Amino acid sequence: MDNKGSINLDGYFKLYACDKRIRIIYEKIDNIIKVIAIGKWEDMEVYNIALQRILTMNQD
């Protein structure tokens, strides 16, 4: 996925739902789909949530 604002989500993908008002950010590893975040597109909310979760996962 391209950068969204200043948020780099390279290697992740997105799906749209509810007439593109909701985004689903996910990662595909082999045959596994790992959902990172589901949320509103407004104010980049879902991308900020995804970034925080990715950073937290990388710390573990």
> Could you tell me what percent of the chain has a pLDDT over 70?
90
**Residue ranges covered by each domain of the chain:** 13-59
Work out the pLDDT band at 4, boundaries 50, 70, 90.
low
Q: Which of 37, 3, 1, 34 is nearest to 22 (CA)?
A: 37
Average pLDDT value for residue range 7-22: 90
pTM of the model: 0.81
Is 70 exceeded by the pLDDT of residue 2?
A: no
| pLDDT surpasses 90 at 23 | yes
The CA-to-CA distance between both ends of the chain, in Å, stands at: 23
